[in-house]
Amino acid sequence: MIQNRYVLCCGLFASIGGLTFGYDQGVIANLLVMEDFQRQFPASPLQQGALTAVLELGALSGALISGAFSDSVSRGRSIGIACAVFCIGSTLQTVSGTLGQLSLGRLIGGVGIGSLSMLCPLYMSEISPPETRGSLLSIEQFSIVLGVVFGFWIGFFTRNISGSWSWRLPLAVQIIPGLLLAAGSFLLPASPRFLVSRNQINEAQLEAALIADQNGAPGTKRGSIWGRWALLFTEQYKTQTWIGILVMFFQQWTGINAVLYYAPFMMRSMGVRGDTVMLISSGFVSIMQFLSVIPAIIYIDRLGRRPLLMGGAIIMAFSHASIAALVWYGQGDWAAHRNIAWSAVSMIYLFTAGYGGSFGPVAWVLPNEIFPLTIRSQGVGLSTASNWCNNFLVGLITPSLISVSPAATYMLFSCGCVAAFFWSKYLVPETRGRSLEEMDTLFESAVGQEIAQRKQQVGHRS
């Protein structure tokens, strides 16, 4: 990857989008327990849940809206617009004085985040060569988790500032990456001519050439927006569409967010108290997620996507099942079962490591490499929407499940991981090292022909 510094720099820069996504997820855990925040926004448990969920619903619409419209303007311009929406939402959150304003800010910010979570990996996939596409796209996950780590620790350190700056400051900080990406987005779209001259013809060039070509060269007509959405479910493309939707479905039903959002709750039920709860649950869980994505970035293009998915699914299924057994055994009296409690905590870390090296990054890689150019924005938009939709559903049902039976909750997620294993083994084709053209043979579609034709057109015009 280092060999192609230009691609790496553009990819790294675009991955700032992931940072905004993770930051928002990381920061909320701390805000909800801050004194001044609770005084300013007294909220029932239901309202607290709604405050978390409203961002996910905004993000879900953001991903779908961008999927529909990002073909009308360049990828770079779309990223710029999404950043502007994100910054407006973040500013509103920072200055808000009522729960309504704060929720509106999170809704608007969510639309920006959802759009960025779809647009940035899409852009990254289009500029990267096949040999390093997996690693480059895994940087999206790296950025998301780096954002979670920053969000958590910034909130953790500002929580003792007196007055409303304790929570306004961490909310304001997120505007910085938003502004940075917005400013840089104007430089992002690569010039086809420039890349062709460097012998780096790939999807980014094709896209840029298509956008520049308002009338569309012969054979490049892309149909109406609705027509392209409908194409997703035709015989020719439905395999890719379902892989995109399901990889995000399984990512969420591994239970990662149940662990992230509700780990403090579980730690408390094990008798751990005070700041330590936050630290060892949210704080260290996110650090573990961050550390475990590093081997995935290094090995994803050597080992392939499927081995990572299958290996991760086994580790996660085992960890969840062990937690279920330990919790079931020890929950009656944690004080008498301290070792069991700490074994369960260590299984949470094992689960997170398994997730961080598999479904965490791979779910951001796969959807971005399997769709043909004609329907790529819509396909990636729908897959990303599946991420947010399932994220929302898991968040919605987990508290009720845990209140009924924590052990059964972990067993449910263990079953999700077992299903994810069989799905990866039997239904996911290996995309490692294949150029986007070669996806044809995998999916038996005409994608490659379309791309090859476009490349020729770009080559001729340059």
Ligand X SMILES: O[C@H]1[C@H](O)[C@@H](O)[C@H](O)[C@@H](O)[C@H]1O
Residues that bind ligand X (CB under 6 A): 25, 141, 144-145, 148, 251, 256-257, 260, 289, 360, 387, 391
Nearer to ligand X (CB atom), residue 96 or residue 141: 141
Q: Which residues are CB-neighbours of 91 under 8 A, at least 6 positions away?
A: 105, 175
Q: How far is the CB of 257 from ligand X (least distance, A)?
A: 5
DSSP state of 434: -
Of 447, 434, 370, 7, the closest CA to residue 201 belongs to 7
Identity of the residue, 113 or 144, whose beta carbon is nearer to ligand X in the bound complex = 144
Closest to ligand X by CB, 90 vs 390, is 390
For residue 372, CA distances in Å to 208, 231, 375, 458 come to: 15, 11, 6, 17
The contacts of residue 51 (CB under 8 Å, 6+ apart) are 28, 32, 43, 99, 102, 103, 106
In terms of CB distance, is 52 or 141 closer to ligand X? 141
In the numeric block, which tokens belong to residue 390? Answer: 């399932």
- Closer CB to ligand X, residue 90 or residue 384? 384
Q: How far is the CB of 250 from ligand X (least distance, A)?
A: 11
User: Please, what is the minimum distance in Å from the beta carbon of residue 180 to ligand X?
Assistant: 21
At residue 169's C-alpha, the angle toward residues 103 and 24, to 5°, is: 50
Q: Which residues contact 273 (CB under 8 A, 6 or more apart)?
A: none
444, amino acid identity? E
Provide the minimum distance between the beta carbon of 53 and ligand X in the complex, in angstroms, as a whole number. Answer: 13
How far apart, in whole angstroms, are the C-alpha atoms of residue 3 and residue 9?
A: 11
Query: Cα 360 to the chain's mean position, in Å?
Result: 8
Kindly state the smallest distance separating residue 145's Cβ from ligand X, in Å: 6
User: Minimum CB separation from ligand X for residue 402, in Å?
Assistant: 18
Closest residue (Cβ) to ligand X? Answer: 360
- CA gap 410, 254 in Å, rounded: 10
Q: Cα separation of 325 and 411, whole Å?
A: 9
* CB closer to ligand X, 154 vs 190: 154
Q: How far apart are CA 393 and CA 412, in angstroms?
A: 14
The nearer residue to ligand X, 141 or 166, going by C-beta atoms, is: 141
The CB-of-455 to ligand X minimum distance in angstroms stands at 32
Q: Contact, 413 vs 255, CB < 8 A?
A: yes
Report the C-alpha gap between 265 and 229 in whole angstroms.
41
Minimal distance, residue 360 CB to ligand X, in Å: 4
Contact 244/386 with Cβ under 8 angstroms? Answer: yes
Within 8 A by CB and 6+ apart from 294, the residues are: 142
Q: How far is CA 71 from the centre of its chain?
A: 21
Q: Rounded CA gap, 251 and 365, in Å?
A: 12
Q: Smallest distance, Å, CB 211 to ligand X? A: 29
By beta-carbon proximity to ligand X, the closer residue of 24 and 126 is 24
Is 166:160 a contact under the CB 8 Å cutoff? yes
Residue 30 or 289 having the CB closest to ligand X: 289
**Other Cβ atoms closer than 10 A to 422:** 11
Q: How far is the CB of 141 from ligand X (least distance, A)?
A: 5
DSSP 363-427: HHHTHHHHS-GGGHHHHHHHHHHHHHHHHHHHHHHHHHHHHH-HHHHHHHHHHHHHHHHHHHHHH
- Nearest approach, Cβ of residue 423 and ligand X (Å): 17
Of the pair 4, 115, the CB lying nearest ligand X is at 115
For ligand X, the closer CB: 87 or 148: 148
